[in-house]
Structure 1
Amino acid sequence: MKRVRAIFRRSHAYSLLIATSLFLSGCVSSVMDVDTRAIQPIPARLMGEMNKKSMSPSSPIVVRIFKQESELEIWKRDRSGRFALLKTYPMCRWSGKLGPKKQNGDRQAPEGFYHVNVNMLNPKSQYYLSFNLGYPNKLESALGYTGEALMVHGACSSSGCYALTDDGVAEIYSVVREALKGGQTSFQVQAYPFKMTPSNMAKNRNDPNFAFWSDLKKGYDAFEVTRQQPKVSYCEGRYVFDRTFEGGEPSDPLAACPPSLESPAVASRWQSDAAEIQKLIASGVPVATHAYSDGGMHPSFRKLLQSSGEKALAKRTSQTAVPISRPDAALADPHAAAE
């Protein structure tokens, strides 16, 4: 028994030494963070939602992000084998404007399809907790797009990232962590400019990114129809989804797409929505007249910023009161586009 106690004391002292050294080196903000930040359990209320929806903490997830709506969704596989919506999180801040990220320093938050594995989780993030989206992906690299360290993280500050507040990202991180521990090798993140409805597509028909968004919509439709994570491929400089290629998967994202078979159900949805988009355009649905100088903020946070001010919102969204990035733009965007 004495020997066991001695071993325990040595082990405890060693753990404390490691935690203290990390604290002194500036890797984390406190000794307590070493023990608690990245290992917080999934909140009881969210566990209750999982139980109601026949989901388990270890079941796979898919994440969807919408800039215009400033929302992040977590979908989880239920007992039926299909993905169902678990929870929608309001986004406190994203930067840039609608459209893909193309170069380092453009403040654009990325749009596209990404796959996040356990090595991309950062328990010692400057913004509480975070995970790297993996931008640029294979297609973006082939197109010559540049940038790095594009994250989903805490606080309410963005320079090309998606900020969900410390509390929000802590909850998201716990769900992500358990799914990866449960055997999902990576989870898919689908980042969109807006909900890819026929109405939103018709309103944005004159945007220079419309063709790119039309490709993203095919992935959006694939998930909406099947409630399965779409298989992502690249060819002809664009995304293609749920294709079976003759001769195997394309290796060059810029080469011509080889012959392939497409899911009939997804193709039917795309054709139906394309017809609806044309119908809306013919009916004179107005073109979107908004623009962004530097990103957006969910209305719930905008209201807090307006009523309480920058410092109060910073305290509510970050344990270390990280300043709100470009608050004037957050309040003004989206603004009326110039004629």
Structure 2
Amino acid sequence: MTGRNATGRAAGIGSAIAAVSARVRRFALTAGLVSAMALISGCMSMNLEDLDGAAPEIPAKLVREMKARGMRPESPVLVRIFKKESELEVWKQDASGRYALLKTYPMCRWSGKLGPKMKAGDRQAPEGFYHVSAGMLNPKSQFYLSFNLGYPNRLESALGYTGEALMVHGACSSSGCYAMTDQGISEIYAVVNTALKGGQAQFQVQAFPFRMTPKNMAENRADPNYGFWRDLKVGYDSFELNRRQPKVSVCGRRYVFDQLFAGGEPTDPLAACPPALGGPDPRIAAKQAADEEKVADLLSDGAPATLHAYSDGGMHRSFRLLLEQKGADRLASSVSKRKYPVSRPDAALADPYR
């Protein structure tokens, strides 16, 4: 090899190394920025070109389960989330047109405590009613796969709540979001994506502090969010009784469910609700009255009022057991296709729901 050729080849190799190094530096800078922004505003979900972004398909076993229950893969879907129980439910419409439970997924991690998210940086996972369209799904998420809840919704925006990029995602790590295992979010993402491609304009996500039973309501009666939770319970009860997606309106600084109004849908969430056309669903009203009586009975029997002090959120009992047995590093490798850190394992062990 001549000196000139050797020099040219060395220069070419040097240029290639420099280009790769620059790309690595750019990726590291982007990842660092994403991490910093996630701590400030929520679980950011960036479209990073360096990550594999192929959308998953519904596993064949789950398709068979759908068919056995009279569901079609493209039929409408609805999601319910429960913080205390650390569970996410996926519901599908069956042949009757009503929703039936398809599968319950354990949540690997959620951050904050019971109660709604009110401001950016509070590390709270949201509570309320949200609607997710196809543009809110991200197959190239920093957290493997994700969909944006759409926080703040109309009511939260009107109340001055702040924050953005609040997600349901994989990676088993949360900073204000609901984190699943990679396998779990892969199935959930595939199911909701197929429903949206099948014609559902958007699917509803109902995020609750806990399953809204009389026992849980009685135990949490001393919480400052109790009045808000009583409003959420009306929507919870509507779905429990009807197995249909409740119609959500916002007025009078609260959610109002399954109601028609004189003059059309209210446009100002802070203004008093306009006159309603007809009264509440008598079955829902009866359930509300019966549950209030059960709460009163529990209180008369001395049910303790509990203020649950989460240091930094919670996780499903199955993951907590793994964490206790294996430690954070082995838990991360056990529940994820990639190796992610499990956020704040010390706080998870301090969770009161052990």
Q: Give the TM-score of the pair, scaled to structure 1.
A: 0.88
Partner of 1:226: 242
| Alignment equivalent of 1:62, drawn from 78, 92, 96 | 78
Could you tell me how far 1:48 is from its partner in structure 2? 1.7
Q: C-alpha deviations, 1:67-121, integer Å up to 9, x for none?
A: 0000000000000111000000000000000000000000000000000000000
Could you tell me how far 1:29 is from its partner in structure 2? 4.4
| Alignment equivalent of 2:62, drawn from 46, 50, 53 | 46
* 3-state SS, counterpart of residue 243 of structure 1: coil
| Cα distance in structure 1, aligned partners of 2:85 and 2:92 | 21
Q: Is the 8 A contact 2:81 2:89 kept in 1?
A: yes
Could you tell me how far 1:289 is from its partner in structure 2? 5.0
1:257-336 equivalent positions in 2, closer than 5 A: 257-260=273-276, 261=278, 262-334=280-352
* 3-state SS, counterpart of residue 204 of structure 2: strand
Q: Is the 8 A contact 1:291 1:335 kept in 2?
A: no
Partner of 2:115: 99
Fraction of identical pairs, as percent: 65
Q: What is the aligned residue count?
A: 309
Q: Is the 8 A contact 1:103 1:147 kept in 2?
A: yes
Partner of 2:5: none
Could you tell me how far 1:188 is from its partner in structure 2? 0.2
1:155-304 equivalent positions in 2, closer than 5 A: 155-260=171-276, 261=278, 262-304=280-322
Q: C-alpha deviations, 1:195-231, integer Å up to 9, x for none?
A: 0001100111111000000000000000001100000
Q: State the AA in 2 paired with 1:44.
A: A
Which segments of 5 or more consecutive residues in structure 2 lack a partner in the other structure?
1-22, 28-47
Tell me if 1:145 matches 2:161: yes
Q: State the AA in 2 paired with 1:182.
A: G
Partner of 1:111: 127
Q: State the AA in 2 paired with 1:306.
A: E
Q: Is the 8 A contact 1:74 1:88 kept in 2?
A: yes
CA RMSD of aligned residues (A): 1.6
Q: State the AA in 1 paired with 2:293.
A: A
Tell me if 1:121 matches 2:137: yes
| Cα distance in structure 2, aligned partners of 1:141 and 1:331 | 34
Q: Is the 8 A contact 1:295 1:334 kept in 2?
A: no
Could you tell me how far 1:28 is from its partner in structure 2? 4.2
Q: State the AA in 2 paired with 1:86.
A: L
| Cα distance in structure 1, aligned partners of 2:63 and 2:338 | 28
* 3-state SS, counterpart of residue 131 of structure 2: strand
Q: Which has the higher Rg, Structure 1 or Structure 2?
A: 2
Give the 4+ runs in structure 1 shifted more than 2 A: 23-26, 316-320
Which segments of 5 or more consecutive residues in structure 1 lack a partner in the other structure?
1-22
Partner of 2:38: none
Could you tell me how far 1:165 is from its partner in structure 2? 1.1
Partner of 1:4: none
Which shifted more, 216-225 or 325-334?
Answer: 325-334
| Alignment equivalent of 1:131, drawn from 136, 147, 172 | 147
Which shifted more, 55-64 or 269-278?
Answer: 269-278
Q: Is the 8 A contact 1:290 1:335 kept in 2?
A: no
Distance 1:222 1:335, change over 3 A: closer
| Cα distance in structure 2, aligned partners of 1:281 and 1:43 | 46
Could you tell me how far 1:45 is from its partner in structure 2? 1.6
Tell me if 1:80 matches 2:96: yes
